[in-house]
């Protein structure tokens, strides 16, 4: 929890990792990819405040103590959600697998949730694995990385018929939160890998599932916003937005927030630190302090008040994951909010 | 102007297709060498080793093509450095092959035409948004803005780029053609300007933000590279 000026924020971090990208875990012959991946992430860390930067060696592999201190002790995080990311073509034991995340969940069962994953290219074996993972780890969500390289293929689309089978399986298994993470490759390679139209397609076909688009579709934030206004079950995952822009490019940060508030709305935005790319502490403190600039360029954007920040920092994610939030953190009176207006309409028409 | 200066000038015509900015001002050209005999060696470095292979290919191929137009130039060697599909791309470019030459079986389209066109339309929307915003800020009404003709556009780099993009997209640009058009080339009506501009502003913001992230990452990458070299020395 984070308390500031008499306001109490329940903090749910929607995107955490506990990875091992150290050279010992690099697949022989694939070292350049394993090295390139983690060094790319490390460059992103450079967008945060200088005092939060780590040396590359620590960034490749950090300890459980680092995690607990950065996330729980210093980072104000009440509940964190692991987004398992395998990349087994490059990292021998995987970059950040469900098994590894589950070890930490076992130690902190009230503080951590681990999401699984699937890959449609794994076919029947993948479906079976998903079923086993769902039972064993009581999965509520999965994280999908469409740019993952697998046996000569450099990516996949949610529109593929195989993906529909996996989504049907998710529905059947009660896995309702689908986090979608786009990367720089997809099959076929001449298509825009960051395009989110496949999310649009499955969000329409699977209205009972929630689709959380990680880092709000960046670098295709415009496509994401146009899509999210059409699809009630599409959410904005704010990883990279706060970590990558709030400190490094504050005016662009304010614009992106303004656009997201305008197109998507504060009820469908979920904060995430993307730890260990960025530590949560400065993000939570900075976001609670943040106000949009006053000049004309920003005047058309909706404003974000303390209640909006409470939703984005934790209450929205708590709803998606069924996390109990103590009364003191709830928004006390929602009179005048859209939900109340809907009720009023019902009474009128009755 | 010596040959190297002319090569650099030619390279400034190459735009990052996603960001709609010249690769020279983005800092992607890390080295450009011209031998006494006129052979040219160009090194390109993108903000991350993981930048999308299709756009990386387009920039490298475009760089080779614009330099090839210079009559005084001999052999041309364009290389992407520290890129995770650099080997495939560099080899295909050196052989004069298209995108399928770099990634056989992994792509349908040799010229990446549809992808490039999609981003040219986005770029045109974003460029027009900047021009429209400036006019509205000057106090023009939506009617006055949509009544503007190509001949009324200012003579600056933003407007010139709009016209270049219209040429590339086959959208007419005669002096009396509308100054502002929808991505499909249709003129904008005054009563749809506000809605169009809301969407266009988002596209512009997206391009600006992506450009700023790319610049920051490239800066960090160059700084780290320099630090590592110092440590090594």
CB B7, CB B67: distance < 8 Å: yes
**CATH 3.30.300.130-classified regions of chain B:** 3-111
Question: Minimal Cα–Cα distance from B21 to chain A, Å?
Answer: 15
Of A40, A47, A194, the CB nearest to B50: A40
Alpha helical stretches, state H, chain A = 31-45, 56-60, 64-67, 98-107, 123-137, 161-173, 197-205, 221-228, 241, 250-263, 280-289, 306-310, 316-321, 338-349
| Helices and strands per DSSP (H, E), number in chain A | 14, 10
pLDDT of residue B222: 86
- Given an 8 Å threshold on Cβ–Cβ distance, is A248 in contact with B18? no
The band of A319, judged by pLDDT with boundaries at 50, 70 and 90, is very high
pLDDT of residue A339: 42
For the cut 70, the answer to whether the pLDDT of residue A23 exceeds it is: yes
Residue B157, H or E segment = helix B157-169
Q: In 10 A of CB A51, how many CB atoms?
A: 7
Q: Nearest to residue A94, comparing CAs of A178, A36, A26, A16?
A: A26
The band of A348, judged by pLDDT with boundaries at 50, 70 and 90, is very low
A279-313 per-position pLDDT tens digit: 999 999 999 999 999 998 899 999 999 999 999 99
User: B3-111 maps to which CATH number?
Assistant: 3.30.300.130
Over residues A189-216, the mean pLDDT reads 97
CATH code of residue A227: 3.20.20.140
Number of CB pairs, chain A paired with chain B, less than 8 A apart:
108
Say whether residue B81 is in contact with chain A using an 8 A CB cutoff.
no
Residue with tokens 């440590």: B231
Q: Which residue of B has its CA nearest to A252?
A: B209
Distance CA A37, CA A25 (A): 13
pLDDT of residue B110: 77
- Given an 8 Å threshold on Cβ–Cβ distance, is B106 in contact with A219? no
The band of A343, judged by pLDDT with boundaries at 50, 70 and 90, is very low
Record the pTM: 0.94
- Number of separate domains in chain A: 1
Of B99, B205, B217, the CB nearest to A259: B205
B contacts of A301 (beta carbons < 8 Å): none
CA A275 to chain centre: 11
- Given an 8 Å threshold on Cβ–Cβ distance, is B99 in contact with A245? no
B50-80 per-position pLDDT tens digit: 999 999 999 999 999 999 999 999 999 999 9
Owning domain of residue A186: 2-349
Over residues B142-146, the mean pLDDT reads 96
Over residues B129-143, the mean pLDDT reads 95
Question: Minimal Cα–Cα distance from A180 to chain B, Å?
Answer: 18
């Amino acid at each position: 929890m984070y308390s500031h000026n008499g306001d109490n924020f329940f903090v749910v971090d929607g995107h955490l990792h506990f990875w091992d990208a150290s050279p010992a875990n690099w697949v022989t012959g694939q070292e350049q990819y394993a090295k390139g991946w983690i060094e790319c992430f490390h460059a992103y860390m450079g967008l945060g405040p200088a005092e939060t930067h780590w040396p590359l060696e620590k960034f490749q592999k950090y300890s459980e103590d680092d995690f607990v201190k950065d996330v729980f002790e210093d980072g104000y995080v009440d509940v964190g959600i692991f987004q398992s990311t395998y990349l087994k073509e490059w990292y021998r034991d995987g970059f950040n697998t469900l098994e590894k995340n589950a070890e930490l969940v076992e130690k902190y069962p009230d503080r951590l949730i681990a999401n699984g994953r699937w890959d449609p290219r794994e076919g029947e074996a993948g479906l079976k694995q998903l079923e086993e993972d769902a039972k064993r780890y009581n999965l509520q969500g999965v994280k999908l990385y469409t740019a993952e390289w697998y046996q000569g293929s450099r990516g996949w689309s949610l529109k593929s018929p195989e993906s529909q089978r996996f989504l049907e399986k998710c529905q059947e298994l009660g896995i309702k939160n689908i986090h979608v993470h786009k990367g720089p490759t997809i099959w076929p390679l001449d298509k825009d890998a960051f395009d989110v139209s496949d999310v649009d397609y499955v969000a329409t076909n699977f209205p009972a599932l929630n689709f959380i688009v990680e880092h709000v579709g960046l670098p295709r934030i415009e496509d994401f916003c146009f899509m999210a206004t059409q699809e009630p079950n599409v959410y904005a995952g704010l990883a990279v937005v706060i970590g990558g822009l709030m400190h490094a490019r504050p005016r662009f940060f304010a614009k992106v927030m303004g656009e997201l508030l305008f197109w998507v709305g504060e009820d469908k935005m979920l904060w995430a630190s993307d730890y260990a790319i960025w530590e949560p502490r400065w993000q939570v403190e900075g976001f609670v302090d943040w106000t949009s600039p006053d000049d004309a360029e920003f005047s058309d954007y909706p404003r974000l008040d303390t209640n909006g920040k409470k939703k984005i920092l934790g209450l929205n994610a708590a709803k998606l994951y069924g996390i109990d939030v103590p009364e003191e953190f709830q928004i006390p009176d929602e009179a005048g909010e859209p939900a109340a207006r809907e009720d009023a309409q019902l009474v009128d028409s009755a | 102007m010596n040959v190297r200066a002319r090569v650099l000038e030619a390279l400034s015509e190459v735009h990052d297709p996603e960001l709609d900015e010249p690769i020279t001002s983005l800092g992607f050209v890390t080295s450009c060498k011209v031998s006494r005999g006129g052979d040219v060696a160009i090194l390109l470095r993108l903000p991350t080793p993981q930048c999308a292979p299709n756009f990386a290919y387009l920039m490298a191929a475009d760089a080779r093509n614009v330099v090839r137009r210079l009559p005084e130039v001999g052999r041309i060697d364009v290389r992407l450095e520290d890129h995770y599909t650099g080997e495939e791309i560099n080899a295909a470019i050196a052989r004069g092959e298209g995108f399928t030459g770099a990634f056989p079986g992994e792509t349908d389209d040799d010229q990446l035409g549809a992808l490039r066109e999609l981003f040219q339309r986005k770029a045109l929307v974003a460029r027009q948004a900047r021009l429209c915003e400036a006019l509205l800020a000057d106090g023009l009404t939506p009617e006055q803005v949509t009544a503007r003709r190509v001949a009324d556009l200012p003579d600056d780099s933003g407007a010139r780029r709009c016209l270049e993009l219209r040429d590339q997209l086959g959208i007419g640009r005669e002096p009396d053609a509308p100054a502002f058009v929808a991505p499909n080339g249709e003129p904008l009506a005054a009563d749809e300007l506000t809605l169009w501009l809301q969407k266009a502003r988002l596209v512009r913001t997206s391009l600006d933000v992506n450009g700023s992230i790319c610049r920051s990452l490239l800066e960090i990458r160059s700084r780290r590279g320099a630090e590592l070299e110092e440590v090594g020395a």
